[in-house]
Chains A and B, each alone.
Chain A
Amino acid sequence: GAVVSQHPSRVICKSGTSVKIECRSLDFQATTMFWYRQFPKKSLMLMATSNEGSKATYEQGVEKDKFLINHASLTLSTLTVTSAHPEDSSFYICSARDPRYGYTFGSGTRLTVV
C-alpha cells in the first residue's frame, strides 16, 4: 500500500523556538496533504489542507502565522510550528490520499514544548 513518512517522530523544544515537521509520500504523488492535531483523549482535528504549489487552507481557529505549511513538491509537505509554547505540545499527524489505496497516515510527531 501507499506509505507516508513523517519525521521526526518525537521532538522536544524550548519555548519560543520553531519546529519543522516533514511529511513525505514515498511511493505516490500527493497534490493534497492534510495536517491533523490530536489532543489528549480527543479525536483528530483537521488543522489545514496543504496544496502543492499554492497556499494552504486553514480550518477555523487555526493560526496561519503560527502553523506554517509549505507544500513545495508533490511528495513533501512541511508544518512549522513557530514560536512554540507549551500549549502547542500535542501529537501532529499528516495524511495524504493515494488514488490507489485511499487515505494513508504518517506515524505522527509528538511535540513537547518545555
Chain B
Amino acid sequence: AQTVTQSQPEMSVQEAETVTLSCTYDTSESDYYLFWYKQPPSRQMILVIRQEAYKQQNATENRFSVNFQKAAKSFSLKISDSQLGDAAMYFCAYRGASGTYKYIFGTGTRLKVLA
C-alpha cells in the first residue's frame, strides 16, 4: 500500500524568507502523480502544485517549486519570498496513475509566517 509521510508537523518562516516543507512517500508503482495542497484556516483547500512522476523536470508555480527525487521517493515544496497569506496547513498527496480515485494524503505541515 502507498503511504505519504510529512515529518514536520509545524514550520515557521520569516516573511520574505524561503522555507522548504518535506514529504516522502512509498509506492511500488512506476507512474503516479504528486500534489501539494494548501488549506488556510477556515478556508477551502486549493492545489498549490502538481508533479507527474514521469517528468524529470521539477514543477514550478510562481513562488512555489518542488524538489522531486524519484529514486529517493521525496517530494519537497519550496516557498520563496514567503508572504503572510502563505500561512496554512500544507498537505502532500499521492495518486497512482492506474485509474484510481484514491488520493493518499500526508498528515500535513502547519506553516506559520512571521511578520
Determine if chain A interacts with chain B.
no
A interface residues with partner B (beta carbon < 8 Å): none
B interface residues with partner A (beta carbon < 8 Å): none
